[in-house]
Amino acid sequence: MGRSTYIGIAAAFAFSSFAFRFFFKPHQHHQPSRLFTVQELSLYNGTDEQLPIFLGILGDASRAFVSGNFTGDGLTDTLRGLSSSEVKSVVEWRDFFLKTYTFVGRLVGRYYDFRGMPTKYLKNAEAKAARGAQLLEKQKREEEKIPNCNSKWSQHEGGEVWCDDGYPRLMQRPLEIALTGKMSKRCVCLKEDELQQSGLEVYEGCDYHAKACKV
């Protein structure tokens, strides 16, 4: 597939196997959808005033949609290597546009075959997105058990975290590995008898029993 074709797709914000008219959905009867080739979809990029702009979600330049890279390797329809949360984001955008704009058809390629039927790639993407949603919900439930630190920041004084009850610690978020491929941390307030558990970190330059720390 040529670079010029991808540029046309990016100009139309065409990220996917679903194509939509780029205006809010009117109240109208359902119309039969059509199947597009990449070349056909790229015509609806806004350069021809006689044609509407079509927006696609979940294909074409999907990787660019989550990475922000609309050049070179970013303009690809593969979601391979993206995290669960990134794939979840793409699928959620597709669902948003299904509800908001007029659906006009499907793009034949990685996610739909020549009959317009879902391929294994679409099913895998939806399964990964569902797994991401489950992990996010699990993370939310677990983190609700431990209160977050209070925090503030100003240009003159910088940042500060503190606890009204307990001591501030950086706690690892292990589910982030499965969600994003990276380990992150959050500031939590722990009581004295909770400070010995693994995965905790005292803020640099902060006393072990301080209730407030500069960050």
Question: Rounded mean pLDDT of 85-99?
Answer: 87
Task: Read off the pLDDT of residues 101-118 as tens digits, 9 standing for 90 and up.
Answer: 888 899 999 999 999 999
CA dihedral in degrees (160, 164, 165, 171; nearest 10)? -30
Burial (CB count within 10 angstroms: exposed 0-12, middle 13-18, buried 19+), residue 207:
exposed
Cβ partners under 8 Å of residue 176, min gap 6: 139, 182, 183, 184
Residues of the chain with pLDDT > 70, as a percent, come to: 82
Res 159: pLDDT: 96
Nearest-angstrom CA–CA distance, 210 and 26: 59
Which parts of the chain are beta strand (E)?
14-16, 18-24, 34-36, 54-58, 101-107, 150-154, 158-162, 167-173, 184-190, 200-201, 212-214
Distance CA 44, CA 135 (A): 37
Geometric angle at alpha carbon 99, from 93 and 103, rounded to 5°: 90
Confidence of residue 174 (pLDDT cuts 50, 70, 90): confident
d(CA 29, CA 150): 52
Computed on alpha carbons and rounded to an integer, the radius of gyration of the chain in Å comes to 23
Report the alpha-carbon distance of residue 109 to residue 95 in Å, rounded: 19
* Band of residue 1 on the pLDDT scale cut at 50, 70, 90: very low
Q: What is the pLDDT of residue 59?
A: 67
Q: What is the DSSP letter of 12?
A: T
Query: Average pLDDT in the 41-66 region?
Result: 82
Q: Report pLDDT digits (tens) over 9-46.
A: 333 333 345 665 545 555 444 455 789 998 999 899 88
Q: Report residue 8's pLDDT band, with 50, 70 and 90 as the boundaries.
A: very low
pLDDT at 16: 46
- Measure CA 18 to chain center: 17
- Tokens 């139309």 locate to 12
